[in-house]
Structure 1
């Protein structure tokens, strides 16, 4: 299945009990520019009679690299654990980043247009448990041409308490994909 585009980059705070994973405070993270996922597996091989008789491959963890137009202070506070305070007239905010800050585990979602046999669908992906690190940023002086600099943030994909690391579904309309992601992230109410 070929894919084009990327839209609707969202996250939501994860709370886990022994038997349940729930999400609250869902929000749009940024306008989506790029999402890269790479998955690591644990592999076990059992040999017998001079050949491989069993081979097991299981999810270990993954790396999620996101590039968006802007990570606002509220998103950074959630995913990185930074502190926000109000300054001056009560409308400006200041973010304080400490070395000991530790952000929340979050669910992360997005969707892309998929094409198979000239039929378009919308593949929605919900990563159930992600822990982000401080984003990389680059800044440069303006020259002859305008070059936008946007933040890249990297997170670790983990399994949640239910041993699930990803949920995905493909829908015939963009609206259905977005509605499903909103339900997963509890955007607009609780699921």
Structure 2
């Protein structure tokens, strides 16, 4: 699919106590927080692989996703958002303290990517259900003859939920299906869960 950007970047902190295997309902999340303006996001699957050798060749092979590495370059990270994502505290002056007691929370990361008009337009909506960010590298550069912006890149890990083993979900919306649009118009208001009925394409 041809995608031409990324916009809309929201965070829903997860109540990890509600993420239980075989629970009666999906985990609960807090109210959405708009993080920043997105510049680039990279989602890299981490794989576990196994091969069965027989008669001096590979007879069976298996690959499973264990997690996803997340790299998120944004325009800025304000102090309250830094404290939120990295589990840090702010003081009465608005400063952010980094201590040995910091514990970054898990949460859902939601965003959307515009699709090229050549493939129907609209958006692809994405959500990562259980993601945790980690302290990031900070760069500074002296001002020269040209202006070079220094923007933060957050890195983290997205893992599967204990509740249902779900990593992430994507949904395309070209504006032509009412049932899909009813879901995507609330994408940044609540954590969207996949539809109850699963289908596997034939062929």
Residues 69-122 of structure 1 show CA distances to partners (whole Å, capped at 9, x for unaligned) of 1112222112111101223xxxxx121111331110111111111237541120
The match for 2:65 is 59
The match for 2:134 is 133
1:154 aligned onto 2:160: no
Deviation (angstroms), 1:54? 3.1
Instruction: Give the stretch that moved more between structures: 73-82 or 43-52.
Output: 43-52
SS at the partner of 1:135? coil
* Closer, same or farther: CA 143–82 of 1 in aligned 2, 3 Å: same
The match for 1:114 is 115
* Closer, same or farther: CA 119–47 of 1 in aligned 2, 3 Å: same
Q: Any unmatched runs of 5+ in structure 2?
A: 176-180, 193-203
Write the mapping of 1:1-191 to structure 2, written as runs, cut at 5 A: 1-16=1-16, 17=18, 18=20, 19=23, 20-87=26-93, 93-115=94-116, 117-161=118-162, 162-173=164-175, 176=181, 177=184, 179-184=186-191
SS at the partner of 1:183? coil
* Closer, same or farther: CA 178–152 of 1 in aligned 2, 3 Å: farther
* Closer, same or farther: CA 178–154 of 1 in aligned 2, 3 Å: farther
Instruction: Indicate the structure with greater strand content.
Output: 1
Give the total of aligned pairs.
178
Aligned partners of 1:27, 1:81: CA distance in 2, in Å?
15
TM-score using structure 1 length = 0.84
- Contact 2:36–2:75 at 8 Å: present in 1 too? yes
Aligned partners of 1:80, 1:119: CA distance in 2, in Å?
38
Q: Any unmatched runs of 5+ in structure 1?
A: 88-92, 186-191
Aligned partners of 2:12, 2:91: CA distance in 1, in Å?
21
TM-score using structure 2 length = 0.79
Aligned partners of 2:191, 2:53: CA distance in 1, in Å?
42
